[in-house]
Copies of this chain bind each other. A is one copy, B any other.
Amino acid sequence: MSIKKPLILVVNDDGITAPGIKALLEVANEFAETVVVAPDKPQSGMGHAITISSTLHVRKTDVDGTPAYACSGTPVDCVKIAVNKLLPRLPDLVVSGINHGSNSSINVIYSGTMSAAVEGSLENIPSIGFSLLDHSIDADFSAAQAYARKIIQAILEQNHHKSLCLNVNIPNLPYDLILGSKVCRQAKGNWREEYDERTDPMGRTYYWLTGKFEIDDDGTDTDEWALNNGYVSIVPVQPDITDYETLNTINYLAHV
């Protein structure tokens, strides 16, 4: 009698060739049968976008020997088509990343990495997004891998509600200098945008979005605090964006 290994779906938003997804796949392979379904090109900043007005293409391939599908769509498309079309059975876990760059604070809502994880949890599969606070293509993922290993193992061992979704960010520090993990809430923060205005060779104006991230939160229970103080941040997330605080203050709108 064989004990069936769990199945883990590995997804990301930086695209199927990104070093970060290989780093995450290495860890997932220690625990489970794995399948990669990831965008065929970078899809950073795609948030919860889905492809509804055009077609999706999927190309069978492999990532370092693991069965993989390169998908023409967004990170959320990858999870939907994986679960509903491509995988042999419902996965036991979805892992997304390791993202090249932070998805803490408000960045969670712009993040393709985290939207893929949220989509996994909407499909009733515990899901974890991992992000390393280093944008570079040759980032050192070893500390992030060590924490991914611990967290994946703990989640596979626990009997969590199926819609568990975690936003894990890892500071850009060597493993020995990371002080541990903190379970946190999402810090309040926002981007101050600036548009870099240029003129193309045909004389037309175009813009690049740039900006600076600003924290508007002095709590010590936030992901930003944890990351700035040498901890891995773990924020559980969920998809209900109702503003319950405001809910009872706008009843006059029901009588206009």
Minimum distance in angstroms from A93 CB to a CB of chain B: 14
A180 partner residues in chain B, CB cutoff 8 A: 254-255
**Is A228's beta carbon under 8 Å from chain B?**
no
Given A49-B46, A109-B48, A256-B153, also A241-B238 (CB < 8 A)? yes
As for how many copies of this chain the complex holds, the number is 2
**Is A234's beta carbon under 8 Å from chain B?**
yes
Give Cα A151 to B250, complex, Å.
11
Minimum distance in angstroms from A58 CB to a CB of chain B: 7
A-B contact pairs, 8 of them (CB 8 A): A42-B53, A49-B110, A83-B193, A85-B197, A108-B241, A183-B250, A185-B240, A185-B247
**Is A56's beta carbon under 8 Å from chain B?**
yes
What 0/1 pattern do residues 105 to 118 of A give for CB contact below 8 A with B?
01011100001001
CB–CB B256/A206 < 8 A: no
